[in-house]
Copies of this chain bind each other. A is one copy, B any other.
């Protein structure tokens, strides 16, 4: 399954006049207010978000899983799926692999396929939260933090393997998410667990190529329900500082206690030059992994306000690894990802409409009402024409969900793959 340029051009003809009208009207309005529309569109076009290889099939919960039809069952098919997303949206130009679920058989072939689809290999993800068949040691009681040296060594070696695999594909960062923690008071010695984790991370860090980054994720709970070793950004930052300059904190939107002010965390990490990556999703209760922007789109906009500020004002902070990390329990995974990509672009576009100078002036005046007016003024703008134009400029479609359905993509995939396939790792 590959979407052809002709299909896209053909699809776009229908909506073009309508798009042009909307775009011209909006551009005219924005320009009058001093916005540089071309610049915004150019930034939108450049913005690329990685698709995780495990998000292309149906997800589930501990109560079960309802599978979806035509899921990709091997790496090549996963790349195909990302190719579809990228062809339509032109914002999914990267994939983030999960090892051991996605170990390539033939590296050259895989790279060639990705090149043809214009997809890069973004951060690679290790897995020390599940036991693999025939594994010598078990991660039941932790991996990098385990009290057993043999377990820690196995987990370190796995991470070094992952770096090696990623290196062959052109990845430039390793993402470490640890499930390590405890389910009951007393189970862990917090200090020992923390120090073991620090030592293990240092050992992995030693194996990191010079131009790589190590991204350390945090999460307050699940799958452990009493404590997690890297429970918040403070712990992650401490560990990153303990490793060195190439280690950074990675923020996943769903990995916070209720009511956390995530935008402030993002901002302070950028100030310190230590924000390394970002996992997008949305949630109402916990790490619900819902479609980006489906529950709290204004919070996403506020986060992008900080990210835009940081990209402009914090040269000390590196370029970020952007990824969607959602689970698709009741939607077609590809449609879900398209909706996520749209929501990200929307939040980014609106954040780019904030007049930072005006905002700064209002802040200095303590004019709280005006600060809010400025943010809400940007947020209330219907930016869809800008996103459409950015996509069109890059060769994508005006309306990706609509195009996906018009082109009957899912049925094509089912035809090619059969109905009841299951993606590796699910």
- Interface positions of A (Cβ within 8 A of B): 22, 25, 29, 59-64, 66, 129-131, 138-141, 147, 179, 182-192, 194-195, 220-223, 225-227, 231-235, 237-238, 257-261, 263-264, 267-268, 270-272, 283-286, 288, 290-291, 293-299, 302, 305-306, 309, 313-314, 327, 329-332, 335-336, 339, 346, 359-360, 362-364, 366, 368-369, 371-376, 379-382, 384, 401
Contact, CB under 8 Å: B346 / A380: yes
* B183→A290 contact, CB < 8 A: yes
Contacting pair A285 B369 (CB below 8 A)? no
Contacts A185-B294, A221-B284 supplied; 19 other A-B pairs, CB < 8 Å: A61-B222, A63-B222, A64-B223, A184-B294, A184-B371, A185-B305, A187-B330, A191-B267, A221-B286, A222-B285, A225-B285, A225-B288, A227-B264, A231-B261, A232-B232, A238-B272, A258-B259, A259-B285, A286-B286
Q: Enumerate chain B residues within 8 angstroms of A190, measured Cβ to Cβ.
A: 263-264, 267-268, 271, 306
B-chain residues with CB within 8 Å of residue A359 when the two chains form the complex:
186
Alpha-carbon distance between A309 and B185 when the two chains are bound, in angstroms? 14
For this complex, 26 residue pairs linking A to B, each with C-beta atoms less than 8 Å apart, are: A63-B129, A64-B223, A141-B330, A147-B363, A147-B364, A183-B290, A184-B330, A184-B331, A185-B295, A186-B372, A187-B330, A187-B368, A187-B371, A190-B271, A222-B285, A222-B286, A225-B288, A225-B329, A226-B261, A258-B258, A296-B296, A297-B379, A331-B369, A369-B401, A373-B401, A380-B384
User: A184 to B368, Cβ gap below 8 A?
Assistant: yes
| Residue of A288, A298, A336 with most partner-chain B CB within 10 A | A298
Q: Could you tell me if A138 and B66 are in contact, using CB atoms closer than 8 angstroms?
A: yes
Q: Are B234 and A232 in contact (CB under 8 A)?
A: yes
Contacts of A366 in B (CB 8 A): 140-141, 147, 330
Best-surrounded residue of A188, A284, A306 (most CB of chain B within 10 A): A284
With A263-B190, A295-B185, A374-B186 as known contacts, state yes or no: A140 contacts B63, CB within 8 Å: no
Q: In the complex, what distance in Å separates the CA atom of A339 from the CA atom of B330?
A: 37
- A-B interface, 5 closest residue pairs, ranked by CB to CB distance from nearest: A234-B234, A186-B371, A225-B288, A190-B267, A61-B223
Most buried by B among A189, A264, A267, A283: A264
| CB closest residue in chain B, given A373 | B401
- The one of B186, B194, B293 in contact with A268, judged by C-beta atoms closer than 8 angstroms, is B194
Contacts of A139 in B (CB 8 A): 66
Which residues on B sit within 8 Å (CB–CB) of A372?
Answer: 184-187, 291, 294, 339
Residues in chain B near residue A223, CB distance under 8 A: 61-64, 329
CB distance from A9 to the nearest CB of B (A): 24
Closest to A269 in B: B234
Nearest CB on B from A347, distance (A): 11
Tell me whether B331 and A284 are in contact (CB under 8 A).
no
Q: How far is the CA of A329 from the CA of B141 in the complex (A)?
A: 10
- How many angstroms between the C-alpha atoms of A295 and B262 in the bound complex? 13
A284 touches B225 (CB 8 A): yes
Kindly report which residue of chain B lies nearest to residue A354, judged by CB atoms: B186
Chain B, Cβ-Cβ closest to A189: B363
Q: Do A187 and B363 contact each other (CB < 8 Å), given the known contacts A284-B221, A330-B140?
A: yes
Q: Which residue from chain B places its CB closest to the CB of A229 in the assembled complex? A: B264
Distance, CA A298 to CA B332, complexed state (A): 24
Q: How far is the CB of A295 from chain B (nearest CB, A)?
A: 7
Q: Knowing A259-B285, A284-B226, A296-B298 touch, does A184 contact B64 (C-beta < 8 A)?
A: no
Name the CB-closest residue of B to A22. Answer: B29
The answer to whether B375 touches A185 (Cβ under 8 A) is: yes
Distance of A336 from chain B, by nearest CB (Å)? 7
Check if A235 sits within 8 Å of B268, measured CB to CB. Answer: yes
Docked CA distance A368–B285 (Å): 19
